[in-house]
């Protein structure tokens, strides 16, 4: 039997949005197994609003119906995490323009570290192309409606934590 094809979907997911869930769902249709890697202490972000365990639980809840998706907190280097999980690919979502430059750089760094792991990109669906965790937090801070943008439990948690 052919070896199981595993992909990693890394991110800070602070918190998970419908845009993330869309990418994870689409990746899960192409790969045998998807491991969502929740970055414990993101380097490029300020302190996270939710703890790694909270962020993990939101994703588990939002992907519960997908039989081949697991969620784990990642505290080491992405390529090491990918090797530990027998993954052959890292999947990233690409939004309108903004993600390209950063991803282009990360792609080359990761290939230098581990040429056997392929980074692959899924374009954001049109309705999520301008959706980011940061944007959602900003809207929630001022009491705006985010119910179309994030899973229900996330909207509730944001309202509790951020509403002024």
We find the least distance from the C-beta atom of residue 95 to ligand ADP, in angstroms, to be 5
Between 2 and 98, name the residue whose CB sits nearer to ligand ADP.
98
How many angstroms from the chain centroid is the CA of residue 94? 11
- Rounded to whole angstroms, the Cα distance separating 146 from 142 reads 11
- Rounded to whole angstroms, the Cα distance separating 18 from 37 reads 17
We find the least distance from the C-beta atom of residue 164 to ligand ADP, in angstroms, to be 22
Between 68 and 121, name the residue whose CB sits nearer to ligand ADP.
121
Q: CA angle, 144 as apex, 100 and 66 as ends, to 5°? A: 60
- Rounded to whole angstroms, the Cα distance separating 72 from 150 reads 20
How many angstroms from the chain centroid is the CA of residue 162? 21
The residues binding ligand ADP (CB under 6 A) are 11-13, 17, 19-20, 23, 92-93, 95, 99, 124, 128, 131-133
Between 94 and 114, name the residue whose CB sits nearer to ligand ADP.
94
Q: What b/e sequence results for 100-109 when a residue is b if at least 16 CB atoms lie within 10 Å of its CB, and e otherwise?
A: eeeeeebbee
Between 63 and 133, name the residue whose CB sits nearer to ligand ADP.
133
We find the least distance from the C-beta atom of residue 37 to ligand ADP, in angstroms, to be 9
We find the least distance from the C-beta atom of residue 115 to ligand ADP, in angstroms, to be 20
């Amino acid at each position: 039997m052919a070896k199981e094809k595993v992909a990693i979907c890394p991110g800070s997911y602070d918190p998970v949005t419908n845009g993330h869930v869309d990418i994870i769902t689409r990746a899960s249709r192409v790969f045998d197994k998807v491991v969502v890697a929740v970055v414990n202490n993101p380097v490029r972000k300020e302190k996270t609003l939710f703890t790694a365990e909270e962020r993990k639980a939101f994703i588990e809840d939002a992907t519960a119906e997908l039989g081949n998706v697991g969620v784990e907190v990642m505290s080491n280097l992405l390529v090491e995490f990918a090797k530990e999980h027998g993954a052959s690919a890292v999947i990233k979502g690409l939004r309108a323009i903004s993600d390209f430059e950063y991803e282009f750089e990360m792609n080359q760094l990761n290939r230098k570290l581990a040429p056997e792991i392929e980074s692959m990109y899924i374009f954001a669906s049109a309705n999520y192309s301008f959706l980011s965790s940061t944007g959602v937090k900003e809207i929630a801070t001022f009491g705006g409606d985010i119910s179309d943008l994030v899973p229900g439990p996330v909207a509730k948690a944001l309202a509790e934590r951020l509403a002024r």
